[in-house]
Structure 1
Amino acid sequence: MKKLLSFFSVLSLVTISTANIVACSSSENSSVTQNKQKITPENLDKFFSSHMTWDFKDQFFFKDINEQTKDESIKFYGSIESMLVYLLSNMIEQEFNIMFNYKKSVFFFLANFDNSGFFDSYGISIDELYKLSFSVIVSSKNNQNEWIYKKNNLVFNFQETNIYSKKDWLKEFIIFCMNIKTIMWVNKTSNIQVFDVPIDDSNSKINEYKKENSKYAINYATENLNLSFSGNKNINDLSSFYEDYKILFKIKNYKYIYEESEDTNIIYFNSDFIAYFENNSNVSFSTNSNFAVFLNDEI
């Protein structure tokens, strides 16, 4: 999964508040849309030239380095960059929603940190300010008007004030897993957004996944996710980088969506599920997500 995180390392994390939203008429919405700018290299340069610095000072996922075990510090090494890129990209996206008029299928977006030395670290210190240099690349997918825009020497000021409460940590981490394969405007997994951790099964079980509310699929998906997030599966990822934050799942139902077939059969399905901490089942989070099952002959 670490490879998947490296490939899909641009996404969104901070929840956008919907409180006190005032309903607008269609004419008002049209006016707002018309006032937004088009995404062009010129307008992007104006935007980023006036947004050279991005600041985050709040709660986040990480323990203080002095509170981590040796094993947790090693696992932290593989998680920090993906999670900060994810956070930063969400912050940029929120500003883009205010400034620009765009369609998600038309643009590619990528944010890259330049501080490679920082991401070789094994933890952070709470309340310490980290100044991280980064660059962005935005490109058009329009074959008749292709262009690429790049901006260097941007700065992300990151300061974690405290780790999330257990309840918030679980909720935000599941949201992270549900969105990490989607960059700001382009879905990177077929035409469907899926949960980050893939499920692997034998190609001989393909018909089990095509059944309505398949009990086999429900049980196998639950078992597979629990192996991954309890740290018992042989993968090097961030799903269990803190021993006391290991997560278990309960898949509640199953709805087959469709399959793709290239070199590997991929089944997509949708489920309601509950996530909870292994050491405290009273702390839980319920939601709905799409999942991907990779079927091959080697299992």
Structure 2
Amino acid sequence: MDSEERITARVGELTGREAVRAHDLGASHAWRTYRVDTADGPPLFAKALPEGDASFPGLFRAEALGLDWLGRSFGSPAVPVLAWDDATLVLPWAEARPPSPEAAERFGHQLAAMHLAGADSFGAPRDGYIGPLPLDNAPHPEWPEFYATRRLEPFLRRAADRGALTPGDVREVEKVIGAVEELAGEPEPPARIHGDLWGGNVIWQDDGALLVDPAACGGHREADLAMLALFGLPHLDRVRDAYNEAAPLAAGWRGRIALHQLFPLLVHVCLFGAAYRTTAMDTARAALRGPL
């Protein structure tokens, strides 16, 4: 049985739907993605690890539970989960629409509602992943300490260990880590954040957007907005303005964008090497300049 036949059978077993054919859409990190046609309704989307691959324990569990948690807020943009097991995740197929100003405004309101649903603490009840990299979600009551010890420090060490950062680079990021408390702005309660919200994880719809591939946790709401700005999003100003109407951002938020972007850039250094080094270091220096 080839991989497409195996995925077709597994999706049918997991969902109880009559899956008729899986179409391989290509690899994403260590897993592959599929569009699965069904005989009894719309197509499905599946992610699957290679057969027998045990390199990512809890990967799809963390993603499924994270999406479910994000979805427990009125009007949440998180895509619903249909089924999952250790090697497979099944979601509805979502056809992307052209982004429009109206959809961007709706998305801004959706994102604000999801954030305002809140979290019990910074972190999550379980560890997770960001892409293929493990993520320490051990809860903490204060965001600066959580961000320093669960996000910046582990990925700084990982990047340094793979030789993608110089000792001088490490010292520069350590300055940010040491100053997080004073750079963080006024304390905010933990928000219900996506955690990996670059534009590729936003699927535009006519009436807003759907979010996929989260690294969900209780976090700082500015982090999601900063990541949307990192690699660009159509109509970002409309999204942000609508968000600000529903959940006004704290004073100085623009000056904290670099602080929030440093974590995903360190993740990229860990994944892709020195190609992201210059951007990461420029961002570390911008973070140290603090709020405007």
Same fold (TM over 0.5): no
Q: Which has the higher strand share?
A: 1
Instruction: Normalising by structure 2, report the TM-score.
Output: 0.24
Larger radius of gyration: 1
- TM-score calculated relative to the size of structure 1: 0.24
